[in-house]
Chains A and B, each alone.
Chain A
Amino acid sequence: MTSVTTTVRAITRRPREQDESEERSNISALDRSRRTVRVTTRILTVLLIVGLVVVAFGPLLWLFKAALSTSQDILKYPFEWWPSGIQWQNLPDAWSQIRIGQYLLNTVWMAAGCWFFGLLVALTGGYGIAILRPKYAKAVNAAVLATLFIPGVVSLISLYVTILDVPLIGVNLVNTFWAVWLPTAASAFNVLLVARFFDRLPRDVFEAARIDGAGVFRVFWSIVLPMSRPVIGVVSLLTIVGSWKEFLWPLLVLPSPDLQPLSVGLYRISDTAPTSLLMAGMFISVIIPIGLFLLFQRQFLRSAGQAGAIKG
């Protein structure tokens, strides 16, 4: 129990410490004045960067090449640049013929809903647990925390059964985006992250607002929300990229091809579609996440630690 709470705390604290401790790492300035150290670190650095460019960026570059090649070129000449010429036509063909445009629209819509409901639950829940603190807040907090410790596999089947026939309401959510939006919004990690963030906000501000006559909603809207921009950013990145990567769950609850996101659509057509169009579709589907990543790289790398702890 304690290990995860301390992780959450350590992770949320980490960014600040990271900025401060730029002074030194293992190798000191004195070490760097020695020739052998300088040469070794230089060699290691070059090896690392070259290795990373080849291993991490290489496959993406290859995907770009394949997206603009004929199927024949992809299969026969993996290391040649467009022997039969660049096939720009692949992109519009993939967009319409294998319906990548439709899947992309579905993915955006799915991600937007996951983002909205994820934020709604995490912000209101975090506000309740950390700032409002009614008597039952402790019980809610413990019950949310408990779900972090239960392996995800436990509720896969029963969650599907729940979606088929939501208790008390009796509706079937299969083939609606609600089936993806609502379960992903129930993210214990996001709630606890926001609650820990709110815990560290100065309480005097809320007390003062309350004495001035601001109600529960007013404090939330005019004081808490404007103060929580950093945590909103982190939760937004986590939920958007998370839902873009989602595969198994949409595969189960969105059987209709008209609603499927890119990951499910690409999987379904992967055996039948022409290789060139499949590659073009895959290329289109990575542009948006990679663009977001390059644009917000610092925020992404900062919240990367938080994404790692979700798995527990």
Chain B
Amino acid sequence: MTATAPPVLDEPAVGAYDRPGPTQQPRPRRRPIAAFSAWVRAGGVATLVMFLPLLLTFGYFAWWPILKSLILAFQSTDLINEPTWVGLRNFERVLADPLLWTAAGNTVWFAVLALLIGFPLPILMAMVMAELRRTRQISSVLVYLPVIIPPVVSVLLWKQFYDPSASGLFNTVLGWFGLGPVGWLQDPALAMPSIVIQATWATAGTATIIYLAALMSIQAELYDAAEVDGASILQRTWHVTLPQLRSVILLMLLLQIIGTMQVFTDPFVMTGGGPENRTVTLLMLVYNYAFLSGDFGKATALSLLLALVLSVVSAIYLRLTRKWSES
């Protein structure tokens, strides 16, 4: 939550281009105008021009919005009438919304299911892929293929697979075993797991490729030494591979939690929040507050609350895992 203000632009710059050359004497103190013209001659303006694209885009579209959300959260604004300061009222109204706790529960449920279904799978796949020789490239391409597909296309495709009629794709497969038909997205209990399976399909490739790269950079000497000591393949997996992967696994776990807690596109396109609000997520609630009710203050308050929770969770997680890896 460290919102950093844009750096002051008119501060004179001294950089690589106006450092005195080896033959020059150290510059004596001069009057401001002389110092300024020296700065200009040494390329200070050109350096600043080089920074302009970054300063302008970040100033307008990264740093300012962060500050702006700290303002918006304490205002009542519908973007038409003049905003008024309302103190903590927006936060009170968010916390009083009964749908908030439904959405929070759904979001956590999504994150937990995504961990159970989607977290171990990439590690296991990467471990097998690391042992491949001729087929490693083709399996990497296959595993990464779903990641390339735009999320909306992936969701709409799976929505078709989850067709609740008996002739739907998954229901046809179930029918081969004499099961179903199942309502999938229309079944309140199954809707969220169905979305998680699609989301896992769409994203597992990224994690697999990251783990594979980490596996390939484990030093061969470690395996050699363990083998000489008589460790079996499974023992080597447990005592060499997993400890070597630990920092990557811990980081991926945190990134996945932060990512899944902000899930939007998959439930929004797949179910729109239904059935019975069972797939409404926190970010969908932010969207609804702002773009359906026009209540931008309330929407910002909720997004700040979510960000605050995520920051606290990450801070605790990083502290705990650091302690754990030291011991």
Question: Using a CB–CB distance below 8 Å, which chain A residues touch chain B?
Answer: 3, 7, 14, 17-18, 21, 23-28, 30-31, 37, 41, 44-45, 48-49, 52-53, 55-57, 59-60, 62-63, 66, 74-79, 117, 120-121, 124-125, 127-128, 131-137, 139-140, 142-144, 146-147, 149-162, 164, 166-167, 182-183, 185-186, 188, 191, 206, 210-211, 215-217, 220, 241, 244-245, 247-248, 252, 262-264, 266-267, 270, 275, 278-279, 282, 285-286, 289-290, 292-294, 297, 300-301, 304-305, 307-309, 311-312
Contact = CB atoms under 8 A, between A and B. Distances in A.
Given A26-B130, A151-B307, A158 B68 contact: yes
B293 interface: no
Contacts of A248: 264-265, 268, 287
B249 interface: no
Contacts of A308: 206-207, 209-210, 252, 255
Contacts of B143: 52, 56
Given A45-B128, A289-B148, A308-B206, A134 B47 contact: yes
Given A146-B2, A300-B144, A162 B54 contact: no
Nearest to B51: A128
Nearest to A122: B54
A151 B60 CA distance: 17
Interface string B227-238: 100000100110
A130 B117 CA distance: 41
Contacts of B252: 308
Interface in B185-210: 201, 205-207, 209-210
A25 B130 contact: yes
B81 interface: no
A132 B262 contact: no
Contacts, number: 350
A266 B13 contact: no
Interface string B252-289: 10110011001011001100000000000001001100
11 contacts: A17-B216, A24-B224, A44-B131, A56-B201, A59-B201, A63-B157, A154-B69, A241-B148, A262-B152, A264-B152, A304-B213
Please list the 4 inter-chain residue pairs (A to B) with the smallest Cβ-Cβ separation, ordered nearest first. A134-B15, A125-B54, A134-B13, A216-B46
A142 B137 CA distance: 38
Contacts of B21: 211
A44 B15 CA distance: 58
B151 A155 contact: no
A132 B47 contact: yes
A25 B215 contact: yes
B68 A263 contact: no
Given A147-B66, A157-B286, A252-B291, 17 more contacts: A25-B215, A28-B223, A57-B142, A128-B54, A133-B16, A136-B8, A144-B58, A149-B311, A156-B283, A158-B72, A158-B300, A183-B57, A186-B57, A206-B16, A248-B268, A304-B144, A308-B206
